Amino acid sequence: QCLLSGSWQSDTGCRMVVSVLDKHSSFSGSYLPGPVTSDSKILTSPLEGSQQDVGLVAQPIFSFTVRWQLTVRAQMTTFLGQCYVGTNGEESLHALWLLREAADSPTEDWKATR
């Protein structure tokens, strides 16, 4: 069974810590982009999300949003993916992400999403 609670690290060095899932399969935690440097603009940021009920499916779909704690610009990223259990029993997360930063006007809207 795949459970998101705990610590995770991506191939690029990003770190995520997820709290215990509540009875509605919701969770919160923190996210730190990596690799961690001395750059003061990179701060640990809160995340909130939800996961499919593991009682229904062993390799659940999940989503979460990170509200970046940046000193320069307002940004949020949403991740959507699935948790897999390999043949060796090791859990891995596969996800896509969409980042949005605040635009100064509707004419700037086109470049605000990556």
Query: In this predicted structure, what is the pLDDT of residue 36?
Result: 53
Query: In this predicted structure, what is the pLDDT of residue 74?
Result: 85
Contacts 24+ apart (CB under 8 A), 88-93: 91/2, 91/3, 93/4, 93/8, 93/62
Give the pLDDT mean for 11-19.
Answer: 89
pTM: 0.84
Average pLDDT, the chain: 87
Condensed to tens digits (0 to 9), the pLDDT of residues 56-86 reads 888 999 999 999 877 667 889 999 999 999 9
CATH homologous superfamily for 6-108? Avidin-like (2.40.128.30)
- The tokens for 33 are 């982009």
